[in-house]
Amino acid sequence: MNLTERSARTVVHAVARCENILALSALVIMAFLPCVEAVTRAFGVQGISGSTVIVQHMTLWIGFLGAIIAARENRLLSLTQPVEIEANETGGFKYWFSRSVAVTVNLVLAYASFRLVKTESEFPRDLLPGVPVWAVEVIMPVGFLLIAMEMLRTSRREPILQAVMLAIPIVIGVIGLGETLQVPVVLWGGVLAILSALMFGAPIFVGLGGLAVILFWYDGVPVAAVPAEMYRIVVSPTLPTIPLFTLAGYILAQGGASRRLIEVFRHWFGWIPGGTPVMVTLLCGFFTTLTGGSGVTILALGGLLLPMLLSENYPKPFAIGLITVSGSLGLLFPPSLPAIIYGVTAGVPINKIFLAGIIPGLFLVIMVAGWGVRQGFISKVARRQFQPREAVSSFMRAKWEVFLPAFILLGIFGGFTTLVEVAAFTVLYVLIVEVFVYRDVKMIDLPKVIVDCATLVGGVLIILGVAMGFTSYLVDAQVPLHALDWVRENIQSKYVFLFALNVLLLIVGCLMDIFSAIIVVVPLIKPMGVHFGIDPVHLAVIFIANLELGYLTPPVGMNLFLSAYRFNHSMSQVYKATLPFFIILLLAVMAITYIPALSLSLL
């Protein structure tokens, strides 16, 4: 290694360390300030001035810092994850083409964000006394620029020159066209290139952000509209709950919570026919509720649960399908990230969505668990004897983690704290339990856990942000109004509409991840639901339940990819393993759709 390479590597390490420290600091501040605010309010003392605004804007920073780290580690969410493209001739072309488009889009978004910051600086407004808004927004152009640089730096050596040669001229040429791009050939060529890059492995946010930019440009709308919409949603009042609940889940996953919970559910439900599958279903749903996302559940528990099922002679396809499906069963329970995002997007009270989701969520769990009982009879698995002493003992060992959902529910529905404060206290609670009570997590390990959390959160938040830009274009183009007019003219029955909605959301689940689907599709269907007199909370439950199927729907169901990655199986094998469960959940979702009482009886 020569001196130049050694110097470059030193600079890269120094920048990476700085990014990690900033991400860690942002998450710590986000967890600390709401706790202080709630405590000072309880004692009638003045809290930290502007703490709510600070936490909201820390969400913006953690989103970009996490996305930068994810780009550095090649962990940005894409449609091809976790299957990697082979380095043959075709794969090589796909690789450098997707990288080139990704770099190009990021540089264009950096330019658009710079225009937004420049405008804000010319007409300054204060976020806090002495802190202008543009000073906080500067993370956006810097973030997109650093993501582009990380993509170039981490590219394979052979195609990196091709990526630079293709990306930079396109960026310079597009920017040189000014604020309008009313050339249909260029428009459709750009759209085709972006969609192709998505299929070849470009990050999801690149596709949504690229489409938003090129469509706004074609309509003569300033490209700063995209980062402006991104800023608007990322700093919304309830969105800080996403990084906070995710951090709590990561700390739980790092500790011994999974082992203790397995023992609890095994001793309490193992005596049922098909007891282990029932235990797996309940445990995965419970763990997804705690961690806020199904991906963490499959990765954290898959290696423990699969050998357990196989040791009891359950067929391997059944075992893989059960774990894959059960990972999404907690999405209707607090603190479900999709429910939070839906509430923010649609303007529906999040606590009502959580309350409405309890019975439908339990219904989905019972349906999957029932299939497990059936398999237990078919496989003639010996039943365990219920041992009260062992059951109570396992419960007492895991009592602090078992009571966590009750702690969250009390905070959400008790009216003592805001949702963000509940999330912050959840982080504090989990931290105390795992570090000081069980001592499974060492203080020295926390920085890595927090940075890993920031990486996932950044990958999600940047998708939400650019998806909002794309949605803004759809609204400006009056797509929701045109869609509503078409529905009014062609569909008169509420039940026909609901059936069409199920089909639409199933297709959406095939093509989009759940986070961008919420941002893009909800503004389209919300006015249709109002037209047909569907309760907004019931519509939220329908939407989330349908998108649970999206986790299991080829070609981009996230659970399918994660399962293939975790269990080292081909995608076709995972498809076959999950098909029976998919049909079961489809029937359950239809029941949730057509029986509103399942969702509304607790309201």
User: Does residue 391 form part of some domain?
Assistant: yes
- pLDDT above 70 (res 441): yes
Q: What pLDDT sits at residue 588?
A: 93
Note whether 220 and 309 are same-domain residues: no
246 and 229 share one domain: no
Tell me which of 502 and 556 has the higher pLDDT.
502
The number of folded domains in the chain is: 2
The last residue of one of the domains, among 234, 259, 294, is 234
Domain span at residue 170 reads 17-234
Residue 11, in any domain of the structure: no
Selected residue with higher pLDDT from 182 and 463: 463
Same domain, 223 and 318: no
The strand pairing partners of 203, in sequence order, are 78
Are residues 150 and 297 part of one domain? no
Stated length of the chain: 603
Task: Choose the final residue of a domain: 234, 258, 279.
Answer: 234
Are 217 and 291 in the same domain? no
Q: Are residues 255 and 216 in the same domain?
A: no
What Cα–Cα distance (Å) separates residue 316 from each residue in 10, 311, 572, 573?
47, 10, 14, 11
| Domain presence at residue 513 | yes
Say yes or no: 350 and 216 in one domain.
no
- Residue 7 belongs to some domain of the structure: no
- At residue 296 the predicted structure's pLDDT band, cuts being 50, 70 and 90, is low
For residue 335, cis peptide bond before it (omega within 30 degrees of 0): yes
Q: CA 151 from chain center: how many Å?
A: 22
Tens-place pLDDT, residues 115-128 = 899 998 988 888 88
CB contact at 8 A, 52 and 237: yes
Average of per-residue pLDDT across 535-564: 81
Residues 342, 522 contacting (CB under 8 angstroms): yes
What is the token pair recorded at 468? Answer: 């909002």
DSSP string, 267-335: HHHTTSTTHHHHHHHHHHHHHHHHHS-HHHHHHHHHHHHHHHHHHTT--HHHHHHHHHHHTTTTTTSTT
Whether 10 is in a domain gets the answer no
User: Does some domain include residue 1?
Assistant: no
Is residue 56 located within the same domain as residue 184?
yes
In a domain, 116, yes or no: yes
Answer yes or no: is 3 within a domain: no
Mean pLDDT of the chain: 82
Kindly give, in sequence order, each residue whose CB lies less than 8 Å from that of residue 256, ignoring residues fewer than 6 positions away: 434, 438, 440
- Please give the average per-residue pLDDT across 52-81, as a whole number: 86
Evaluated on CA atoms 402, 404, 409, 415, the torsion sign reads positive
- Based on the fold, state whether residues 55 and 84 are members of the same structural domain: yes
Radius of gyration of the chain (CA): 24
Tell me the C-alpha to C-alpha distance, in Å, between residue 438 and each of 435, 463, 531.
6, 36, 53
Tokens of 427: 């982080």
Dist. CA 262–CA 249, nearest whole Å? 16
Q: Do 103 and 251 reside in the same domain of the chain?
A: no
- Measured distance CA(407)–CA(422) in Å, rounded: 9
Shared-domain flag, residues 199 and 247 = no
Model confidence, pTM: 0.81
Backbone angles phi, psi at 99, to 5 degrees: -65, -40
Q: State whether 117 and 189 are in the same domain.
A: yes
Instruction: Decide if 462 contacts 60 (C-beta within 8 A).
Output: no
- For residues 63 and 541, the answer to whether their CB atoms sit within 8 Å is no
Instruction: Give residue 502's pLDDT band: very low, low, confident or very high (50, 70, 90).
Output: confident
Domain C-terminal end among 181, 216, 234: 234
